[in-house]
Every structure is written in C-alpha cells, then in structure tokens.
Amino acid sequence: MSPEQFLVNPIITQKVDIYALGITFYKLITHKYPVNERKVKEQGIKLVQLKSIKRPSDIKDDILWNHLSKLLDFDPDKRITAVEALQHPYFSSPEAIADISKEQQDLASLAAVAELEGDSSITQFDKDPTFIVIETDIKQFILNYSQRNQPKKQNNIEKQQEQSQNEELKTVFEIAEQDNEEEMMILAIEISLQNDGNIVQIYQIKV
C-alpha cells in the first residue's frame, strides 16, 4: 500500500498505482520488499518512520535509482505520472535506446506491417521496440529466478524429509522401549522400504 493510503482521510488517485509499480520494480530488482511487515497496521507505522525509501545496495545504476525513487516518492503530488515514467532517461536516453536488440526492432517492424495490412489489433506499443520484451529474455528471467530459489525449496524438502524420518525413528524406539521386539521389527521393515534400509540398520544397532 502507498503511504497516503494510511492517512486518516486518504485521497486516493492513480498515483497509488504508480507507487505499486515502483514496489514491483523494487522487488524484481532486489528480490525483497522495502517494507515487509506482515500486518497492515505495522506496515503503516513503518512507512511513517521511514519518510522515504532508502536506496538499497543492490541498485548500482544511478539512472535506475533516480527513476525508481520517483515512482516511490511518499508525496503523491511529487510522484511521477505514467507518462513521465515512460519519458524518463532510464527508458529514453541514448544508452537505453542502444540496448534495444535487433529482434525487438524486427518485431516492431512486423507489427507496423501487420497494421498496414489491416490488422486492427495492433497498438502503438506493438510498434514501439522499447515496449517489446522478447521471449528469450522472459525465459532467461524465469530460469534465473527458478535457479535462485531452487536451493531454498530443496532445503525445505530436505527438512521435511528429515523431520518425517525423525518421527519414524521416534516411533521405532518407543516400541523398543516397550520390549515389543516383533512389532518393532515389522515396523522397521515397513519403514526401511521407504528409506533405503536405514531404519533396519539402526534397529540392528539398537538390539
């Protein structure tokens, strides 16, 4: 939520969407939120304390941060509009234009030709290469994101497996303490079928 939405009598305009866009960019770039309080009330208190979003160490590009900070300005009257955001040097400077690939230019040209041939679905954005994101870039972004988050998912899976095995071991040893050797052997064999025989080895050591 934008800072003005936490005011007693908030005036909601399209500028809240600009702030939300800034937060989205911030998350894509840094992989975290500038304010990450779980409860809405706590988030509002945090925003009041901050006064503004500080530049994170992840963002090295001065032009990028200038653009992002204007999207995230706490004062909605000073926050840039959508048109101003698109005209910002981050998108319109010679350096930005030079980053446009040949594939983006080709796709824009194809859209222009399609419009001339009567395709009414073509918009000005289809003909502007600065608005085109090629498929390979999207796939690469998804791949990088997946690889970056894979270790976390793997760790969670391993923790769950370890917890499950610990519970199984606990059950085996509880039966062992009751001297019910036959029941323990049956349970150990059943569990070992799912855990590569590890439980049986532990059972043999136990008895």
**Model confidence pLDDT, tens digit, residues 117-141:** 999 999 988 998 888 877 777 777 7
Give residue 100's pLDDT.
86
Domain layout of the chain by residue ranges: 3-99, 100-132, 135-206
- Which regions in the chain score pLDDT beneath 70? 151-162, 164-207
Give residue 169's pLDDT.
59
Q: How far is CA 156 from CA 91, 146, 151, 159, 163, in A?
A: 39, 15, 9, 5, 10
Give residue 41's pLDDT.
81
Give residue 170's pLDDT.
63
Fold (topology level) of 3-99: Transferase(Phosphotransferase); domain 1 (1.10.510)
Tell me if the pTM is above 0.75.
no
Residue of 138, 85, 135 lying closest to 106 (CA atoms):
135
Tokens 């988030």 sit on residue: 43
d(CA 158, CA 124) in angstroms, rounded, equals 50
